[in-house]
Structure 1
Amino acid sequence: MAPKRTKAEKKVAYDQKLCKLLDEYTQVLVVAADNVGSTQMQSIRKGLRGHSIVLMGKNTMMKRTIRLHAEKTGNEAILNLIPLLVGNVGLIFTKGDLKEVSEEIAKYKVGAPARVGLIAPIDVIVPPGNTGLDPSQTSFFQVLNIPTKINKGTVEIITPVELIKKGDKVGSSEAALLSKLGIRPFSYGLVVLSVYDNGSVFSPEVLDLTEDDLVEKFSNGLSIVTAFSLGISYPTLAAAPHMFINAYKNLLAIAVEGDYSFPQADKIKEYLADPSKFAVAAPAAAAAGGGGAPAASPAEEEKKEEPAEESDDDMGFSLFD
């Protein structure tokens, strides 16, 4: 049987383990571990085995090790982890896909009863229906102002009742009633608070962004940059095409109004001198698109023109007189 290690030896071993992980991994998930039991933690470790390592410990010890390791290696990027070590938190070092690891962690949630003094993480609503409790238990419901009736020798809740609001402390009466009803309203597990990736720290919500979301955000940003650049007349890659087009339009306007000309302007002047050229393409397009629809008969065309003639007669003159 190996002798037990002293407190100092455990501390040295922990420092060595954390330093090794900091050297090997560049991705770290900072997780909250409130109300997570040892059995649940073992299940999480087992589920992440192969690509991730869960490390728990005292915040002061982790901060001290990170500082010393940064000084020793010159890797100051890991110092960004220190402000994240607040409260009951742990570190998950991973080489897997951050989104997939985060989703895997979320699977290991366990239902828990409402204990006295616990801060409710969600609203707790007691549904209506038969509770299965005998009439002697009505005192619990009366204390909490829950409307009930006796139905076939058991207590029945008439309407749904918001028993506990999110952020409130669980009282003894609420805890006792939920226990009698067999309701375990809360669920606990490791919750990802922050993501560390090669020195950068960001919110876990970023992991939920899809490629379409990124393209949309990039397009919106590009539009803002373009508009801003055009507004202050500052050339950028985004604004340059618009600047060239606007300059070309200005040159065309000057050429049309004055004697100056160039090949592209000559074509515009030609169109303006003979407007009928604008309609040259119209008959060809009509002929090309008319193959799918049957041609109208002369009688139908005359019928279509009759309303216009009646309208002219009513006005007392004809456009062709």
Structure 2
Amino acid sequence: MAIKLSKAEKKVEYDKKLCRLLDEYTKVLIAAADNVGSNQLQNIRKGLRGDSIILMGKNTLIRRCIKIHAEKSGNKDYLNLLPLLVGNVGLIFTKGDLKEVSEEVAKYKVGAPARVGLVAPIDVVVPPGNTGLDPSQTSFFQVLNIPTKINKGTVEIITPVELIKKGDKVGSSEAALLSKLGIRPFSYGLIIQSVYDSGSVFSPEVLDLTEDDLIERFASGVSVVTSLSLALSYPTLAAAPHMFINAYKNVLAVALATEYSFPQAEQVKEYLKDPSKFAVAAPVAAADTSAAAPAAAKEEEKKDEPAEESDDEIGFSLFDE
């Protein structure tokens, strides 16, 4: 028979478990758990079993445990978790890849009906089409100003209608209509709100970034640094190549305008003295093309000349008697 622990003993055990997890794991996903049932949460635990552990509890108790553990261990990084403990949230401690764990958690969303008084997390749109309801049910549609018609003894919705807007509370009429239509518009599950990794806290959108996104962001940052450095004439690694090229252009311009010269300017001066040297030898292909052009022209001329017909082919001769 299991011994039932007192409330104080449960807090002590919970504190030990949380401290052990903080020491063992360096990566934590903070997830909102609104409208998540116990069975659904159990399925998520099974799906994450192996590399991850889900810990639920009161925010005040978790904050207290983290503060005490941070003071005892001397690791102040844990304190970055405190501002994230707002609302109905849970902690997912993991040793796996953060993106993979986040995607695994997202798989366990379940559909839910629109209950009266519930705040809609998304817009709810009723699609057009046959509802399968008999004409006596038209009162629901009339109350909600949904255009309908009777088609083959059933109610048919003519156009799509935005029934509930995101952030609005679900009314009794909307809930009853969606129930009759068999529409379960909402889905609930653990929603990752923040990511903690070795003291750093960032948004879960960062997990979706690819290497191409990082390269693009880095290139954009380098471009900004380069522009700023050139505008301020402040040397940086990003702006150094451009500064050297601009300096070379300035010195070259001085050398061309004066008798001063240096090795890199000699060839440019030589070209300016004799512009014909700018001409590059034509490629072999171009030479072949130019050589073949007269031959092609001759062949075309031959084709244009009409073939001379012999008198014999015409059927008479100038010398026929």
Q: Answer yes or no: same fold by TM over 0.5.
A: yes
Query: Residue 285 in 1 paired to residue 282 in 2?
Result: yes
How many residue pairs match? The answer is 299
In structure 2, what residue type is equivalent to 1:160? Answer: P
How high is the TM-score relative to the length of structure 2?
Answer: 0.88
Q: How does 1:1-40 map to 2 (within 5 A)?
A: 1-40=1-40
Equivalent position SS for 2:282: helix
Distance between the aligned counterparts of 2:23 and 2:288, measured in 1? 73
SS at match of 1:228: helix
How far is 1:158 from its partner? 2.6
Secondary structure of 1:41 counterpart:
helix
Q: Give the number of the structure whose alpha-carbon radius of gyration is greater.
A: 2
Measure how far apart 1:123 and its partner are. Answer: 1.2
Q: Distance in 1 between matches of 2:56 and 2:27?
A: 16
CA deviations on 1:10-41 (whole Å, 9 max, x unpaired) are: 11111111111111111111101000000000
Length-normalised TM-score, structure 1: 0.88
**Equivalent runs, 1:66-81 vs 2, <5 Å:** 66-81=66-81
One-letter identity of the residue aligned with 1:6: S
Tell me how far 1:159 sits from its aligned partner.
2.4
The gaps in structure 2 that reach 5 residues or longer are 301-321
What is residue 184 of structure 2 aligned with on the other side?
184
**Equivalent in the alignment of 1:274:** 274
Partner of 1:134: 134
User: What are the equivalent positions in structure 2 for 1:43-122 lying under 5 Å apart?
Assistant: 43-122=43-122
1:33 alignment partner AA: A
What is the RMSD of the two structures over their aligned residues, measured on CA atoms? 1.9
Q: Which moved more, 1:268-277 or 1:81-90?
A: 268-277
- Tell me the distance in 1 between the aligned counterparts of 2:240 and 2:123: 54
| Whole-angstrom CA distance in 2 between matches of 1:127 and 1:238 | 55
Q: Which residue of 2 aligns with 1:212?
A: 212
Q: CA distance change for structure 1 residues 293 and 106 in 2, over 3 Å: closer, same or farther?
A: farther
Question: How far does residue 299 in structure 1 lie from its aligned partner after superposition?
Answer: 8.1
**What percent of counterpart residues are identical?**
78
Distance 1:128 1:198 in 2: 51
Equivalents in 2 of 1:181, 1:269: separation in Å?
Answer: 85
Give the gaps of 5 or more residues in structure 1: 304-321
Q: Deviations over 1:189-239 (max 9, x none)?
A: 010111111111111111111111111111111111111111111111111
Q: How far off is 1:298 after superposition?
A: 6.8
* 2:147 counterpart residue number: 147
